[in-house]
Amino acid sequence: MSTITETLHSGWGQYFTDYEILFEEKTKEQHLLLIETSSHGRVLFLDGVVQLTEKDNFIYHEMLTHVPIFAHGDVRNVLIIGGGDGGIAKQALAHPHVQVTQVEIDEGVVTFSKKFLPEVSSGALDDPRMNLVIYDGAKFVKETSEKYDVIIIDSTDPIGPGEVLFTKEFYTDCSAILTESGILVTQNGAPFMQQEELQTSVQYFRDIFAIGTCYLTTVPTYVGGPMALGFATNNNEALHVSLETLRSRYEKAGLATEYYNPEAHIAAFALPEYIRRAIE
């Protein structure tokens, strides 16, 4: 029986045996592979690393999107860096007053996702409130004169094209284009396996912003324990929104979420001791 094994962590990971290869291509930027599995539906790999599955992508996309939007409370303009599958855009555009600019370096991922993973974006990439820019995200944040209430970094791990999106220079450029109460959130891996990555990002956040921390979610196919999502802002109130306020904002938005709710939002910031110590 043949297997496909994820290559993110040396000597340890996950594998799929019951699968069919649906698509494989070397794009301009990355090696792209899509398989169909009985357990997780369609599974997308980039450069040997699982990016999403049909079955559990909603967890990551909802938590990376709705936490900063509801923590802020009055978001109008969202910038997404990466996210070519459209899952973050779908969640952001579920908020009726939000406009989205999305910067994706690899047009091939967008084209592929529309064709083979249409339910992940549900048409969000073609929404009239969406401005999709095929460009280098690091260059975009350095060059743009626009301001954003929330910036969401939906990147691969700090390997290859995603590496620049974990640098202090990049985070500094992001801070310059946030509104006064704006929030930056990032994908920061599983702290149990990628502690140094999280420590470095949080330290950079604290050098640049008044607040730098992370919150957690658990995505079954991002192996290694809970996943850290970086959180940086100069808005102290964003970390201390009451449950009552979050419930009010959530009900007003009228969202039909599968994972996110106000209680999960607050609980996500309660860090286990090994993670809390790692970022102190």
Confidence of residue 270 (pLDDT cuts 50, 70, 90): very high
Three-state secondary structure of 177-191: CEEEEEEEEEECCCC
Determine the Cα–Cα distance for residues 248 and 226; give it in Å rounded to an integer: 28
Specify the residue for token string 């700090």. Answer: 158
Looking at residue 1, its pLDDT comes to 64
Specify the residue for token string 């369609």. Answer: 42
Asked if 207 is an active-site residue, the reply is: no
If we measure between CA atoms, which residue out of 210, 261, 247 comes closest to residue 231? 210
Looking at residue 261, its pLDDT comes to 98
Whether the pLDDT of residue 31 is over 90: the answer is no
pLDDT average, residue stretch 73-102: 97
Instruction: Tell me the HSE value of 169 on the side-chain side, using a 13 A CA sphere.
Output: 7
pLDDT average, residue stretch 196-211: 95
Domains along the chain with CATH numbers: 4-52 (2.30.140.10), 57-279 (3.40.50.150)
Residue 184 dihedral angles phi and psi, to the nearest 5°: -110, 130
Whether the pLDDT of residue 13 is over 90: the answer is no
Tell how strand 99-104 and strand 77-82 pair up: parallel
Whether the pLDDT of residue 11 is over 90: the answer is no
Whether the pLDDT of residue 238 is over 80: the answer is yes
Confidence of residue 55 (pLDDT cuts 50, 70, 90): very high
pLDDT average, residue stretch 243-264: 97
Looking at residue 26, its pLDDT comes to 85
- The pair of structure tokens assigned to 100 is 């989205």
223-235 per-residue burial string, b: 16 or more CB within 10 A, e: under 16: bbebbbbbbbbbb
Looking at residue 40, its pLDDT comes to 95
Looking at residue 100, its pLDDT comes to 98
If we measure between CA atoms, which residue out of 147, 146, 166 comes closest to residue 155? 166
pLDDT average, residue stretch 264-277: 97
Count of CB atoms within 10 A of residue 258's CB? Answer: 10
Q: Which of 25-29, 73-77, 164-168, 192-196 has the lowest mean pLDDT?
A: 25-29
Instruction: Tell me the HSE value of 220 on the side-chain side, using a 13 A CA sphere.
Output: 11
Looking at residue 164, its pLDDT comes to 77
Q: What angle do CA 58, 106, 189 make, to 5 degrees?
A: 45
pLDDT average, residue stretch 243-256: 97
> What are the pLDDT digits (tens) for 174-199?
999 999 999 999 999 899 988 998 99
Whether the pLDDT of residue 158 is over 80: the answer is no
- The pair of structure tokens assigned to 17 is 């045996």
Whether the pLDDT of residue 27 is over 80: the answer is no
Looking at residue 161, its pLDDT comes to 58
pLDDT average, residue stretch 146-159: 87
Residue tagged active-site, from 154, 157, 173, 207:
154
